[in-house]
Structure 1
Amino acid sequence: MTQSTTARVGRFHQGRLSEGRPQVLDAWRVTTDDADVAASVAGFLGGEPQTNGGRGGLAHEILTSRDSVRVIMDGPDAVTARMVLRSGKEITHECDGSQFLSPDKKKGQSCGCPPLLEDKKLAARDGRGPMPSIDLTFRIAAAPTLGEFHFMTTSWQLAAQLSDLTDALERADGPAVCDLTLELVVFTTKTGIGVGYRKPVVTVLGSPDTVAPEPPPTAGPPPAPAPSALRRKARRAPEPATPNMPEPACSVAVDTPLLYRAARVLGTNDHQETVTAALSEVVAGRRRTTELARLREHVGRIAAIADQALQGRDSPLA
C-alpha cells in the first residue's frame, strides 16, 4: 500500500479545533489551499467556504452537510497504513503490525507487536504499543476533475476493516466508487453511560461505469396521516429513550494520563470512546441541572421538617 504521488488539493476531517480544543463533528469537514476548490466542494457537499480556524496549515475550510460522500479510489495503492508510537513529536516505533518499517537498520525485522488486533489495541491504550496511522487518497465522484483529497485517521475500527477494503479494491481492478461515511455508533459503557460517536467506514460499491457518482434521491416525505391514524398513534407507547448523544458544540482538552484514568472510571476501551463518554456525562449533567436545583429545595425542606421532629416541634406539614 504505497502513497499516491499526485499533488493533493485538500483533506477531509471528522473533527476540528475550536478555541484550541478538539471538537467532534457529525458531518465531514474539508480543508484546502485553493479558494476555487473550496467553492466547488461547498457546491457539491453543502456548507460555506470560510477561513480555516483549525490547525493543518490549509487556508480554507468547509463544514459540509454530508456525513457520507461518494468518492473514487484508485486501487489498493490509495490506502496507506502503518502503526506508529510517538514520544512527543518524535516517532519511536513504526511498523506494519508485524515488521519494522523504520529505521533502515531494523526495516523488515520483527517488531514484536502482538498478532491480534485487540491485543495491539490494549498495548496502545497502556502506552506500550503503536496506534494505527491510516491515509486514504480519493477523488470526489461527482467532481473527479477537482483533484485528489485525502483523509488521515487513527481509527481502530477502520484498521480492522483494512484487509477487506484492500481486497475489495484489488477485485475492482481499477478505479472503484466507494462511500466514505461517518457512521453513527451508539452503545452503553460498562458503567451504564449512553455514548454515541461516529467512526469512518469505507464501502466499495463498484466501477465508475456501473455506480452513480451520487446516491439516488430519497423518496419524498410520506403523505399526512388521516385523523384516525393520528389518534391511533397518540395511544401508542412512547419509544424507548436513546442514549444521550454528545452535543456537537461540546469540546474537551485532556492529557494522556487523564484519558487512562477516565477510561478506568467510565468503562471504555479506547481514547475515542473515553472522550465521547465524557462528553455524554457533560451533556447529561447540563440536563440534570434544573432537576437538581428543584430537588435541593425539597431536600432542604425535608431536613427542616426532620430537625423540627427531632426537637419535638409541630411539623409544618400538619
Structure 2
Amino acid sequence: MTQSTATRAGRFHQGRLSDGRPQALDAWRVTTDDADVAARVAGLLGGEPQPNGGGGGGPAYEVLTSRESVRVLLDGPDAVAAHMVLWGSRGIVHECDGMEFLSPEDKKGQPCGCPPLLADRKLAARNGRGPTPSVDINFQIAAAPKLGTFHFMTSSWQVAAQLSELTDALERLSGPAVCDLAMELIACTTKTGRNVCYRKPVVTVLGSPDSVAPEPSPMAEPRPAPAPATPRPGTRPTPAPTTPSAPDSSRLVRVDAMLLDRAAQVLDTGDHQETVVAALSEIVARPQQAAELARLREQVRRISAIAEQSLRSRDPHSPD
C-alpha cells in the first residue's frame, strides 16, 4: 500500500483544539488552504468556512460539517497507506509494516521484530516498547470528485485490524469504489457499570460508481414505536432499555498549549500530537528534556484525575 504524493485538497479530522483544549467532535471537520474548497465543502456537507482555530497551525481554513458520514471514492487498495511507527524525542525511532523495517535506509527490508498478533503489538505499544498504527486514507468526495483528493489519518487499532478486509474489498472492484467514511458511535458499559461512548472511524465499501449513488437516498420517515403492552395485574412492568448518552462536547479538559509549544521546541517534534506521543513513549536523558516531559506527564495525570472526577459526578453509584 503506497501513499499518494499528489497535492491534497484538504484533510478530514475527528477532533480539534479549542482554546488549547482537546475537543472530540460528533461530525467531520475538514481543513484546507483553499478558500474555494472550504466554501464548496460547506455547501456539500454543511457548516461554514472559517479561519482554522483547531490548533497546532496547519491549513488556513476549517469547516465544522454537520455530517458524521460522508460518501467518498477510493481508487483501489493503493488509496490506503498504512505502517507502524514509534515516535521518539527527535522523530521516528521505529517504522515498519509489521514485518519489515521501512526506515532508516540501512535497516529497510530487515525483520522489524514486531509480534505477529495484533493484540501483542497493541500491548507492546501501550507499554511504550512498540509502534502504533498510522493509517492514511486518500479519497475524493463522491458528490464532487473534481474538488480534489482529501485524506484522513488515524492511529486507530480498530481500523488497523480491518485493513486487510478493506483492501481486499477494494481489490475485488478493480477500480474506484464508492465508500461511506463514517464516525460510528460506540456505546458500551464498563465492568464497573459506567456507560461510555466514543466514535470510531469506519470505512464501508459499497460498490462501483455505476451501481451506487454519490449521495445516500433520504432516510424514510421513522415508524412510530409500538405502544408498550399493558402489564397484567400483579406483574412487575419490564423497564425500558436505556442507551448511554453521547459525551457532552462542552466538558473539555484544558491542556496548556504554551507548554506543548515549548516542549515541541525541546523535543524537536512537528505538532502537538507528535509532542504528546513523544512525551509518553520515550525516556529522554537530557535534563532539559526530562523537565519538559515531567511537566507533560503531570498534565496527563491532571487530565486523568479531572476525567475520573467528572465520571464520578455523573454516576452517583460509583464508589468514592
**Aligned Cα RMSD in Å?**
3.2
Once residues 149 and 29 of structure 1 are traced to their aligned partners in structure 2, the CA distance between those partners, rounded to angstroms, is: 12
TM-score (norm 1): 0.77
Letter in 1 for 2:247: P
Number of the residue aligned with 1:266? none
* Deviation for aligned residue 1:283: 4.5
Any conservation in 2 of the 1:72–1:176 contact (CA below 8 Å)? yes
Give the superposition deviation at 1:35.
1.1
Contact 1:185 1:197 in 2 (8 A): yes
Cα 1:111–1:232 shift into 2, 3 Å: same
Partner of 1:309: none
1:66 matched residue in structure 2? 67
Code of the residue aligned with 2:91 in structure 1: it is E
Residue 126 of structure 1 is matched in structure 2 by 127
Counterpart position of 2:38: 38
Partner SS state of residue 8, structure 1: coil
* Aligned-partner Cα distance in 1 for 2:304–2:237: 32
2:215 equivalent in structure 1? 214
1:251 matched to 2:246 = no
Structure 2 residue runs of 5 or longer lacking an equivalent are 256-275, 282-300
What's the CA shift for 1:181?
0.8
Matches within 5 A, 1:287-298: 287=314
Q: Which amino acid aligns with 2:104?
A: P
Consecutive unaligned residues of structure 1, counting only runs of 5 or more, are 261-273, 292-318
Question: Quick one: which amino acid aligns to residue 109 of structure 1?
Answer: Q
- The answer to whether structure 1 residue 29 and structure 2 residue 29 are counterparts is yes
Shift of 1:285: 4.1
Q: C-alpha separation between the residues in 2 aligned to 1:241 and 1:146?
A: 42
The residue that corresponds to 1:49 in the other structure is 49
How many angstroms does 1:192 deviate by? Answer: 3.1
Percent sequence identity over aligned pairs = 67
**After the TM superposition, which of the residue ranges 13-22 and 133-142 deviates more from structure 2?**
13-22
User: Aligned ranges for residues 1-318 of structure 1 at < 5 Å?
Assistant: 1-54=1-54, 55-222=56-223, 237-243=238-244, 245-252=246-253, 281=308, 283-287=310-314
CA distance in 2 between partners of 1:32 and 1:150 (Å): 11
Aligned residue-pair number: 274
Distance 1:181 1:39 in 2: 21
**Structure 1 contact 193–277 (Cα < 8 Å) conserved:** no
Amino acid at match of 1:41: V
**Deviation digits for residues 267-303 of structure 1 (CA, Å, limit 9, x no counterpart):** xxxxxxx9999887454445469x9xxxxxxxxxxxx
The secondary structure found in structure 1 opposite 2:250 is coil
> Per-residue deviation at 1:250?
2.5
CA drift of 1:29 comes to 0.5
**TM-score (structure 2 length as normaliser):** 0.77
The answer (yes or no) to whether the contact 1:14–1:28 under 8 Å persists in 2 is yes
**For 2:96 and 2:33, how far apart are their aligned partners in 1?**
31
Cα shift at 1:91: 0.5
Structure with max Cα Rg: 1
Contact 1:247 1:283 in 2 (8 A): no
Work out the CA distance in 1 between the residues paired with 2:205 and 2:99. 26
